[in-house]
Each structure stands twice: as C-alpha cells, then as structure tokens.
Homo-oligomer: A and B are copies of this chain.
C-alpha cells in the first residue's frame, strides 16, 4: 500500500498482465482530457462511444469535444439506462452499430457509464472482429473500483445474471472522480461497500485508514482519489494472480454469496436493495459466520458491522425493507448462485479483518441455522 497520509491529486495504477498490461488513470477532469490521453497512448484510433441516455445527457458532449479536438473520429451509441440493457438484443445492437461505423480491430470502443454499460460495451468490444480495443470510462463508484478493473464483461440470460460474456482486458481505464459528484448519495454509498471490501480481503491497513478517513472519501478530492486508486491496486493484484478466475480471484466475492442471495430474494428491486448494499450485508454476515465457525474473533465481526453502520450502509438482514423468505428460501438462492461448483457450497470466509480465504465444502446445515438466527437480528 502506498502512503495514504499524503494522497495525490491524479494517480496512475498499472495493471500488470504481461502483454495485456494497461493503465488506470484516476483523477479530476478526465472526461475533458480523455481525447488527449487516448491520442497519446493509442495514436491513430477511431472510436465508438457506448453510453446510456442519462450519462450521455451529463457527460457525452464534453467527451466528444475532447475527442474531436484530439482528432479522434468518433460515433456515439446511446442505450436505455438500466439492467435490462445487459441483454442479447442490446448486445446485437451495439455490435451492429460498431460494424456499421466500419471500425477495425485496432480501433476502440469507449464504455462511458456504470457497470451495465461497461459490461455490455466491454463484451461487444471482445467479440467484434474477435476482439477490438476497449477504453473503460466508469461513471459510478462501483464501476470505478470493481467492474472496470479485471476484464470481466458480459450480459444476463434468462437463466441468471452475467452468464454470457468474455474475459477482455481494457487498453486503458479513465476514472474521472468529478463525475461521482453527480451520483445520488445512495449509489455512492453502495459503491463504497466494495471499497471497504478490499480492506477486508487482504489490506487491514487500508481498512484502518477507511475507518478514520471515510468522511473525506465521501466528500471528494484527494482522499476519494486515493481510496479509488488503492481499490484498483487491490483488485489488480488479485486479477494479475488469477486472470481467469480459477483460484484466488474468488476472494473478490467476499460478501457476494450472501449478497447475491439477498438481491435475488428481493427480486432485484433496487428500491429495496442495490448490489453494493447486498454486498455490505453479505460482508457483515461473512464475518459473523466466520466468528460463529470459530475461524475469527467476534470482535472483527463487530468492527465490520460498526463501520458499515457508521457510513450509513445496511449491515443486517432486517435492514432490508419488506418481506423476505426464511432461512430455507435464502439457502435455495445461495445454491442457485453461479459460484456453486459441482454442488459444493463455496464461501469466502475470514480469519479476521484483512484475512479472507476461500472455504470450500461449507456445510449447508451450518449456513441454514446461521441464517435462521440472523434473520431475527
């Protein structure tokens, strides 16, 4: 971890994936500077910008004028906002539009938006001409610290979320910290759950720092830049160790098995629970369950719960409004989660803050009785 006491205004994180290494640039004013930064690193390219109508209204004209100034020929493809856009139909629409613009393999798709746009546009760039170059410009905190790093792209299927996709690394990621000021507070806070996650996985000093500095991260400026940069470093390290998710990368799912089950149990109703909130509750549950299994001290579970509570995130099942299924129902959702490998229950558990590990063959009966307790909290 770099020295967090003196955070920098603009930070470049290098993701070291051998011949597919790339830079993540994090800082202020990057929407305007994108044209110049792209022209410098990827000379001569043409661009297709994929975005949604909400993001387009706020940022597209500034991005386009920067590209124009840098002499980068560009077209924009605007989609409907929302998770429904991660579909086969939208994928086909983007692929056709990129081909219609006669872009070649060396040209770029720019994904300007949150996780939905990044996943969809990233997948389209992975399959047009068997792989074009991709520039991620994530506009939500969640996308800046999670989905834009690591090369996972994809769409949903009737059989589940993210079941169709590709591993496709970007050539460049530009994370403009200013655009986060246009986000609703709740969305920023939900994204923060993933920031805290990196501390909990294997960076205890980062978690300490967040406990002290989270107000500054929420306020913006240098602390926010540094929190995003440290999150990207954390994710990039795990991805570099395990690009195609055969081992360690599973650690990034800390909080996600419980979280996904809760998202599914609320019917993916964002009014009740958004992804980051599910992860927050999931992380608290993973620490509490680890304590119950005598793997970690209950003090660590308390500490995690206290921090989530302090920043205003939900941390227990009863924080979710409305009806929920009982322990058996939640367990069924866990079983259906795609991370279930050959019938065994795999969880990310912990030995304490910053000491997460992959636990395979967790007994379903233990999970069930734990959930029955937790529903009552």
Binding site for B on A (CB under 8 A): 88, 92, 95-96, 99-100, 104, 106, 123, 126-131, 152, 154, 157-160, 163-167, 244, 338, 341-342
Known: A88-B92, A99-B159. 11 other contacts (CB 8 A): A99-B158, A99-B163, A104-B342, A126-B166, A127-B164, A127-B166, A129-B163, A130-B152, A130-B166, A130-B167, A131-B244
Flag if B166 contacts A341 (CB, 8 Å): no
CB distance A166 to B131 under 8 Å? yes
- Closest B residue, CB atoms, query A162: B130
Q: Which one of A166, A167, A338 has the highest number of Cβ atoms from chain B below 10 Å of its Cβ?
A: A166
Q: Is the interface of A mostly helix, strand, loop or mixed?
A: mixed
Q: How far is the CA of A165 from the CA of B129 in the complex (A)?
A: 6
List chain B residues, Cβ under 8 A from A99: 157-160, 163-164
Q: Are B128 and A96 in contact (CB-based, < 8 A)?
A: no
3 closest cross-chain pairs (CB), A and B: A99-B159, A130-B165, A88-B92
Min distance, Cβ A360 to any Cβ of chain B, angstroms: 14
* 29 residue pairs bridging A and B, Cβ less than 8 Å apart: A88-B88, A88-B92, A95-B157, A96-B157, A96-B158, A96-B159, A99-B157, A99-B158, A99-B159, A99-B164, A100-B159, A104-B341, A104-B342, A106-B342, A123-B127, A127-B127, A127-B154, A127-B164, A128-B163, A128-B164, A129-B163, A129-B164, A129-B338, A130-B152, A130-B154, A130-B165, A131-B166, A131-B244, A166-B166
Q: Which residue of B lies closest to A155 (CB)?
A: B127
Q: Which residue of B lies closest to A100 (CB)?
A: B159
How far is the CB of A215 from the nearest CB of chain B, in Å?
38
Taking CB atoms, residues of chain B closer than 8 Å to A159 are 96, 99-100
Query: Which residue of chain B lies nearest to A95 when distances are taken between CB atoms in the complex?
Result: B164
Quick check: B127 and A165 within 8 Å, CB to CB? yes
